[in-house]
Amino acid sequence: MEVDKLFHDMVCKQLEPDEVTYTALIDGYCTEGKVKEAFSLHNKMLEMGLTPNVVTYTALTDGLCIYVEVDTANELLHEMCRKGLELNIYTYNSLVNGLCKAGNIDQAVMLMKDMEVAGFHPDAIIYTTLMDAYCKSREIDKAHELLRQMLDRGLQPTVVTFNVLIDGFCMSGMLQDGEKLLKWMLEKGIMPNASTYNSLMKQYCIRNNMHATTEIYKGMCAKGVGPDANTYNILIKGHCKARNMKEAWFLHKDMVGKGFSPTASSYNALIKGFYERKKFSEANQLFEKMRRKAWLQIGKYITYLLI
């Protein structure tokens, strides 16, 4: 909306944007997810005889890749090359991200190699993007190999890099490896965040190992890392599954008191858990909360209360 207003004001004042202004507006549209409007400005820019630069094309590429429009992004890449424009590190980052989102990991790796031939060195963002793609395709060994390459090149992994790998290990059932990576992360002086611990706790909850979950949570608090909404939802569902309703109820009240909103599945777990323990007062109290919120999932809770 801000970009629309800015452009409208310029038109009303009969101010003709230059290349820099057009590029800023295009970037703004892409950031807001309005790729169609961004391309409309790009076309208008060409009609005005103005030449888009590498920053303009990078903004458009980034916008396209967010929506996995990789083919169109590649067309833009060829257009850049035809115009003699050299890609920069941000253009490569956008394209690698887009290819990974589209599941074209091999193409993304080839692009990274092309990037090096062109004289650019992949940064932590590109390595992390590729690791994330490998982890999601359950190719953990390849993701781990990229970490080794990254370290050999003197690049410092970020908290996002570690989170991606820890989540990958956890999703593949390799929780001990995930914990080892967390320990190594701490030894390197990189501060974890809630997402780091959430991956481990979620998988331990799925395995109904609430002792391990609690130990991870205690370690998280000891490091001064505060729980986020996802942490609470994971723990609430885990304790409900383990029939620890007293702990689940305490976490629910603590969560709400801190301004976090439980998810539908958390309410689902609490209501079902209380009902199975014949705690009808607590179950009805939560049911009424759900009804006041007018959540669409309310039918599920009616079903649980009647089972």
Mean pLDDT of all residues belonging to the chain: 86
Residue 271 CB neighbour total at 10 angstroms? 25
Query: Which pLDDT does position 208 carry in this prediction?
Result: 93
Find out whether 209 and 237 touch, Cβ atoms under 8 Å.
no
Asked whether the predicted pLDDT for residue 7 surpasses 70, the reply is no
Q: Which residue has the higher pLDDT, 267 or 292?
A: 267
Q: What is the pLDDT of residue 307?
A: 47
Out of 5-14, 76-85, 152-161, pick the least confident: 5-14
List pLDDT tens digits, range 200-209: 999 999 999 9
User: What's the predicted TM-score (pTM) here?
Assistant: 0.79
Tally the residues of the chain: 307
Residue among 165, 166, 138, 170 at smallest CA distance from 150: 165
How is residue 8 written in tokens?
């409208």
Classify burial at 294, counting beta carbons within 10 Å of its beta carbon; exposed 0-12, middle 13-18, buried 19 or more: exposed
Q: Would you state the pLDDT for residue 63?
A: 79
On whether the CB atoms of residues 62 and 34 are closer than 8 A, the answer is: no
For residue range 229-259, list pLDDT tens digits in order: 999 999 999 999 999 999 999 999 999 999 9
Q: Position of tokens 């009303």?
A: 12
Residue 101: the pLDDT is 85
